[in-house]
Amino acid sequence: MRKTILDLYSMASKGEKIAMLTCYDSSFARVLEQQGIDAILIGDSLGMVVQGHDSPVPVTLDDIVYHTQCVCRGSKNAFILSDMPFGSSQVSPQETFKNAVKLIQAGAQMVKIEGGMEMCDTVQFLVKRGIPVCAHIGLTPQSVNQVGGFKVQGRAEKEAQYILHSAKLLEEAGASLLLIEAVPYSLANQLCEHVSIPTIGIGASPQCSGQVLVIYDMLGLGAYIPPRFVKAFIKETGSIEEAVKLYVNEVKSSQFPALEHCYN
C-alpha cells in the first residue's frame, strides 16, 4: 500500500528520518522502492540530468506529467511528489490549480512549489481545494536567472529573516512539507525549529525530518561538478541497488548528511 502524507507525519513525529530520492522512470522507481525509499520526487531536475539542459527552466508541465506516470507504473508503495515546473505556478492561483490537477491525475499525491511568502495565496488556494503542497525555499533552481546561478541562500541576515518568515507563512497557508535547499547549516536548524511540519533537506542540515538527492547525483552520474551536499554513494558499493540501500541507511541513521555536506 502506498505511503500517505499521514505516514510521513507519523515518521517525523517518531523521529524516523524520511528517505527521498528523485526519479523519472518506472525501472528506477522499482529499484528505489525495493531498497526502502519512503518518498519519490519527480523533480524538474530532469531538465539537467535527463534532457541535458543547463537548468530546470526549460522543463514543461507535460514533461512532469509524463515522468510522473512512468514512476507511478513502477512504484506501488512510495509517497509520490511532483514538481510544478517553471511557469506552471508563477501564474494566478486559479491557473496553478488547473496545472496541479494534471499532476495529481497523473498519480502525484502532492505538488512541490518553489518560492517564499509570495506563494502563500497560491498554496492556500490549492490546499483548500484538495491538493497537498510541499513548499520549496532557500535555493530555488527555477529562479537561477534571477539569483545569478546555483548559489547558497540566506547567508545575509536580511535574506535569512525573509526565508524564516516565509517558512512560517507557508506553513500557515497550508503547506504540508517544507523542502529546504542550499542554506547555511545554522539557518536550516532554525527553520526546523521554526515550523511544525516535516522538513526535507538538500544541502541543509541532518536535523531535517528527511533528506532528498537527485538520483543521478548519488550515483555519481551528474554531468557537472556536484554541489557540496552531494555524496556519490555508488563509489562505496559498486551497484545501484546497494548504493540506494546505503543512502537509505545513512539517512535513517543520521549519518548523511555529515557536516562536510552542509554549508557554513
Please report the pLDDT score of residue 225 as a whole number: 81
Please report the pLDDT score of residue 224 as a whole number: 74
- Domain region containing 64: 5-261
> What's the structural domain count of the chain?
1
Closest CA to 209 of 196, 226, 228: 196
Please report the pLDDT score of residue 226 as a whole number: 85
Please report the pLDDT score of residue 97 as a whole number: 98
Query: Which three cell numbers, joined as nine digits, stand for 230?
Result: 552531494
**CA dist., res. 237 & res. 110, Å (int):** 32
**CA dist., res. 259 & res. 264, Å (int):** 9
Please report the pLDDT score of residue 144 as a whole number: 66
**What are the catalytic residues?**
181
Q: What is the dihedral of CA 83, 87, 91, 95, to 10 degrees?
A: -70
Mean pLDDT, the chain, whole residue set: 95
Classify burial at 127, counting beta carbons within 10 Å of its beta carbon; exposed 0-12, middle 13-18, buried 19 or more: middle
Please report the pLDDT score of residue 148 as a whole number: 52
Query: Which three cell numbers, joined as nine digits, stand for 167?
Result: 517558512
Contact at 8 Å (CB) between 232 and 217? yes
DSSP 234: G
Single pTM value for the model: 0.96
**What's the average model confidence in pLDDT over 196-218?**
97
Please report the pLDDT score of residue 197 as a whole number: 98
Q: Is 257 helix (H, G, I), strand (E, B) or coil?
A: coil
**CA dist., res. 20 & res. 171, Å (int):** 21
Which residues of 25-159 form beta strands (DSSP E)?
Answer: 39-42, 79-83, 110-114, 133-138
Contact at 8 Å (CB) between 43 and 28? no
CATH number at residue 191: 3.20.20.60
Number of residues that this document lists for the chain: 264
Beta bridge partners of 22: 41
Q: Is 113 helix (H, G, I), strand (E, B) or coil?
A: strand
Give residue 214's pLDDT band: very low, low, confident or very high (50, 70, 90). Answer: very high
Contact at 8 Å (CB) between 202 and 211? yes
Give residue 141's pLDDT band: very low, low, confident or very high (50, 70, 90). Answer: confident
